[in-house]
Chains A and B, each alone.
Chain A
């Protein structure tokens, strides 16, 4: 790929992750302070940003083109180069990365936002399923995650005890994350005595419902060093997809995640931030990605401590990059997902130099 500029994450910011914001579904109230801090941190001027790209969903907002108002938070005059994906903002980052690789911009600001509290998230997410034969039954997001969890439990891939351990570890880590929605510790010993939310999932196995927003600044090689002391260089960025037919997949696996990781090159990663809103999915993905036991998974607390829809994957990339930018880690991996049950998976590998 020589000839294409290298791209690095040079800044990351996020809103507080909260159960319910009083802001609008267009995200402006959450985004404006995030942009202001991020631009101040990087020293980049708003008008210098070469490309803006966002990820969100009209289904969360309950109205068409809801993302257009979010552009107000950018200040779009004089006209800007801007794009949007109806999906997790990690895919907006992918688009921005391509834009920089192709030499059409040397900086990009990528953002995502979601106000899940405006509607009923479990029902809204049913509408991402096949609209002919599946969505008309309204299978909610927690119920189908429970189908997947049972597949793994009964195949011996993971256990309810291991799932509870993931929950407890995530909360312990989330306690150190000032943006996390859930920071109270969980006592792993008592978790298996709590009632099922959707047998075999208990409340601690499921991410909370979260409102939130996040933003990342990307820069091409020659700009990255000016904007950041220790950029997180993107060495691999890949995404793959599995069948949307839930009953045709082995739900104990996510081959697309493994394929994306293999293509991105994960050797030597020390930290992995995984977009796994269910404990069982973290256990699945650890196996699928072949992560070594000493890889720190979701040291931010991960989605189980705060799961802003359509910003969550971007948060994972930001949290992982932040560990490179701060010098805490040399090589990190971030994962994002779209669709039901880890159907579509993106892997972003970054390193410091």
Chain B
């Protein structure tokens, strides 16, 4: 049994600016927002949908008749956000509300900058506060504000120029923050790397040695337990020559990415094979880890910069055929 240390974990930041193309209905809606107007769409039953829907929710018919509605409306329901979260419309306490704009039959979800819950009630009148710059996005509506607020009326801006292009794409940044945990078995392996050791574990049922060790043997579904220290020498089972440049590439192509079966392991690791011309790398080639300088070691496989040929005779095919 391997003593259980707390697993390693690290922040994992996931972020992407999602670009989404718009169909005719949503394009029309956000183009109007850019021009500080609100356009809904008329449903098959005559009701006006704001936000617009592309298909009638009852009949399924595609909808296309735009209907301009007001920029003031009525709060249908609301809740209070005391501690706004990242990305929300306002950074200070505000109300979420469903707002039925004048002339619309459905309600739009947005923020109301009301100051306090005392200023909020269902049925209250609110109006749009436009963003300083409008680009054709739901966030062109900065938020709503109570109609009786002291804030000055926002002057209507000039109507769109006839040549203004419709908005056909929106961009929405999404950033999520995680704490990613390695498993106990992976943590043992990663801590071993920081000491320059290659630690695998053996499955108690099939006796295969996995590196990295796993929370469950993929054959037997049981955790690997018995620790096995492996040599930093092994055999290339298969490989490819990378010829294509890509973002973040740290070696100039062509170079070799290979599966290396460490001596004593039952599963190959993927790593680089350098130290010889790419076209000299072959199945069965014997290789050894080229470690980075010790002062650069961390809990990562990057501690091994690459594998290099040892010059030994090639391993016979039968010795690694099972691992292809």
What is the interface of chain A, defined by CB distance below 8 A to chain B? 22-26, 28-29, 32, 35, 46, 59, 61-63, 71-77, 117-120, 122-124, 127, 130-140, 143-144, 146-151, 154, 196-201, 243, 245-248, 251
Contacts and interface: CB of A to CB of B under 8 A. Distances in A.
Contact of A62 (B12, B78, B219): B12
A72 B218 contact: yes
Given A73-B215, A150-B78, A199-B79, A132 B26 contact: yes
A118 B122 CA distance: 36
A124 B183 CA distance: 23
Given A132-B138, A134-B109, A137-B109, A247 B98 contact: yes
Contact of B77 (A35, A118, A135, A151): A151
Interface string B12-31: 10100010101000100100
18 contacts: A46-B221, A62-B180, A119-B177, A133-B138, A136-B138, A136-B139, A136-B170, A138-B87, A139-B88, A139-B109, A144-B96, A149-B79, A198-B79, A245-B53, A246-B107, A247-B100, A247-B107, A247-B108
A200 B57 contact: no
Contacts of A76: 218-219
A245 B86 contact: no
B77 A248 contact: no
Nearest to B87: A138
Interface of B: 6-7, 12, 14, 18, 20, 22, 26, 29, 49, 51, 53, 57, 76-82, 85-89, 96-98, 100, 106-111, 117, 122, 137-139, 170, 172, 174, 176-184, 186, 214-223
A132 B167 CA distance: 13
| Interchain residue pairs A-B with the least CB separation, the first 6 | A75-B221, A146-B79, A247-B107, A199-B80, A62-B178, A28-B215
Given A46-B221, A72-B216, A73-B221, A120 B177 contact: yes
B319 to A, nearest CB: 21
Which of A23, A61, A132 has the most C-beta atoms of chain B within 10 angstroms of its own C-beta? A132
A136 B108 CA distance: 13
Nearest to A138: B87
A159 to B, nearest CB: 16
Contact of B88 (A77, A124, A137): A137
Contact of B181 (A24, A73, A154): A24
Contacts of A197: 82
Contact of B85 (A35, A122, A147): A122
Given A147-B79, A199-B82, A246-B109, 17 more contacts: A22-B184, A24-B181, A25-B178, A29-B184, A62-B14, A62-B176, A63-B14, A73-B221, A123-B85, A138-B88, A143-B79, A151-B77, A154-B77, A198-B82, A245-B57, A248-B49, A248-B106
Contacts of A26: 215
A28 B186 CA distance: 13
A26 B78 CA distance: 37
A120 B11 CA distance: 12
A22 B81 contact: no
A74 B217 CA distance: 9
B303 to A, nearest CB: 22
Contacts of B139: 136-137
A123 B176 contact: yes
- SS of B interface (majority): mixed
A345 to B, nearest CB: 17
A123 B221 contact: no
Contact of A138 (B85, B97, B100): B85
Contacts of B76: 151, 247
Contact of B57 (A135, A137, A151, A243): A243
A132 B22 contact: yes
Nearest to B95: A199
B51 A140 contact: no
A72 B82 CA distance: 43
A150 B179 CA distance: 34
Contact of B221 (A35, A132, A140, A154): A35
B191 to A, nearest CB: 15
B16 to A, nearest CB: 11
A75 B180 contact: no
Nearest to A132: B26
A29 B20 contact: no
Contact of A72 (B170, B174, B221): B221
Given A72-B215, A119-B178, A137-B109, A199 B85 contact: no
Given A138-B87, A199-B80, A119 B176 contact: yes
Contacts of A243: 57
